[in-house]
Structure 1
């Protein structure tokens, strides 16, 4: 055989790699560019209260692509719904003016849009609008910089954990150690990240342990998913997991703006990926005392189960291979 000849199937493998990378880059471009180009209010749930004529008019005029209008009997009911995360905000039209109820910590972009809407409604009724931020960011971090900055370290934490543990504890025999290390890392890093957010940057001021539990679950979802994919699919699995978290999940997380600011389909996809669910769980625990935490917690638990399942499948495959090809004892 000529030393310049190639192995059978090389061309097919090369074509698959090139097509796979091209698909990855295209998906990455779509994930970053398309949601930004079409960003804006998309079916943001808001509550309204007032006279039947007023609420009917608001619902007729506003209910559409931008707003999902729900009618409440009293302003107190609107306020309670905002605090319970049933709605993103609301308008209460009374004889004294238009009260705009917002939750900046739930989504700054939606708050800005709702404030503008309140001013417009007040102008139509020749009234004044008053804004009441029911769930605001902390005084030390009024823009929520710490909250939005937490996601990337969490994503990189999962990536680095899978990469480093695989280097220190390689092969089939190190798989269970890697899995245990990923879970231990999640506990240690999760409590540390929550402590920094609460006590160093003062970006959150809710129940510390509730926030920490959410971050621990988020870190576990990302690290075990990456580790499981890498164990089962090798380098391709690690690349797939990294792209899933960083190139797709990060821009679709909606952590900086709130998920309702992304196009509906993209927003839904983002909330079912670990970064989006992590951001939503962190927001719910840190500012809303756990209200709305159920779905993101369930999504992250499912990703932990997926990662562990891939790891166990890889472990089973490794045991089979070891039984079929036992090591020859050294002479």
Structure 2
């Protein structure tokens, strides 16, 4: 037999690896390309108030696939709905013109589209539109560049610690140490990232402690998931988790545009993954005083719990495997 011959099963294993990599590249292409090709307003919730005839006409004439029009009694109610994240923006039809209420920090693309809608409506009635940005970005970062740039550090802040902890504390005996280290690092990372965004770049407002805890929860969701998958499935599990976070979670997070700018289905999937939930939680803590934080907190907590459960399951299996057998 030749010394260069491959071990049995090599061809089959190579086939599965090639197919898996091909599926990964295809998924990456779909996740990055398809949402971009079909991006735009998708059922953006907008509050409208004014004379019944005018509001009903607006409701009947706007693109129902783009706008989810919700009627409110007064302009004050519209403003409150925008500030509480019940809606993305609002329109108040008055005798003096059209008041457009926006929240740029909640989604710049939706704000631009709503402003265009309000100006077009005002032009139809030969009047003018006045834009009121109720929740803007900070004066030092009016375009929200700092907020958008925070996503990748939060993702890598979960991936890199999991990778380093796996190498530093390998094997079954290191599972609990790795998990503890990841959770502790998440708290430190949350405090550091929030400090940079709030005190160094002045990109966000809000309560520092609340923002840092939200970031920590997002980092913990990524790292706990990767550690759990690696402990249970090995290198393949870590690769699967990392791909999920980067190749699906990153492009579907909608942090730069807001989730309503992604096609239906893609936006929901993005918000169910840690990067999307982390971005939303950062946004609401930094600019909306935590309004609407419940769903992303729940999503991230579930990812942490699942990751920890997978790690503890692997730990239990390892304990059974290594336990000494008593002989009679």
The TM-score by the shorter chain falls in which range?
over 0.9
Deviations 1:194-249 (A, max 9, x none): 11111111111111111111111111101111111111111111111111111110
Q: CA deviation at 1:4?
A: 3.3
Q: CA deviation at 1:291?
A: 0.5
Q: CA deviation at 1:63?
A: 5.0
Query: What secondary structure, in the 3-state scheme, does the structure 2 residue paired with 1:264 have?
Result: coil
Identify the residue that residue 292 of structure 1 maps to in structure 2.
292
| 1:57 has 2:47 as partner | no
CA RMSD after TM alignment: 1.2
Identify the residue that residue 181 of structure 1 maps to in structure 2.
181
Tell me the TM-score normalised to structure 1 length: 0.96
Counterpart-to-counterpart distance in 1, 2:12 and 2:306: 30
Alignment check: 8 A CA contact 1:191 1:212 kept: yes
Counterpart-to-counterpart distance in 2, 1:23 and 1:102: 41
Alignment check: 8 A CA contact 1:166 1:178 kept: yes
Q: CA deviation at 1:12?
A: 1.8
Flag structure 1 segments of 5+ consecutive residues without an equivalent: 327-331
Query: What secondary structure, in the 3-state scheme, does the structure 1 residue paired with 2:117 have?
Result: helix
Counterpart-to-counterpart distance in 2, 1:294 and 1:195: 23
Counterpart-to-counterpart distance in 2, 1:51 and 1:325: 81
Counterpart-to-counterpart distance in 1, 2:69 and 2:9: 58
Counterpart-to-counterpart distance in 1, 2:12 and 2:323: 32
Identify the residue that residue 261 of structure 1 maps to in structure 2.
261
Q: CA deviation at 1:325?
A: 8.0
- Number of aligned positions between the proteins: 326
Tell me the TM-score normalised to structure 2 length: 0.97
Identify the residue that residue 66 of structure 2 maps to in structure 1.
66
* Larger displacement relative to structure 2 (13-22 or 84-93): 13-22
Identify the residue that residue 329 of structure 1 maps to in structure 2.
none
| Alignment CA distance shift 1:230-1:58 (3 Å) | same
Query: What secondary structure, in the 3-state scheme, does the structure 2 residue paired with 1:42 have?
Result: coil
Q: CA deviation at 1:7?
A: 2.6
Counterpart-to-counterpart distance in 2, 1:121 and 1:90: 13
Flag structure 2 segments of 5+ consecutive residues without an equivalent: none
* Larger displacement relative to structure 2 (59-68 or 180-189): 59-68
Q: CA deviation at 1:35?
A: 0.4
Give matches, 1:63-142, under 5 Å: 64-142=64-142
Structure 1 stretches of 4+ moved >4 Å? none
Identify the residue that residue 156 of structure 2 maps to in structure 1.
156
Identify the residue that residue 252 of structure 1 maps to in structure 2.
252
Alignment check: 8 A CA contact 1:63 1:69 kept: no
Give matches, 1:212-251, under 5 Å: 212-251=212-251
Q: CA deviation at 1:8?
A: 2.6
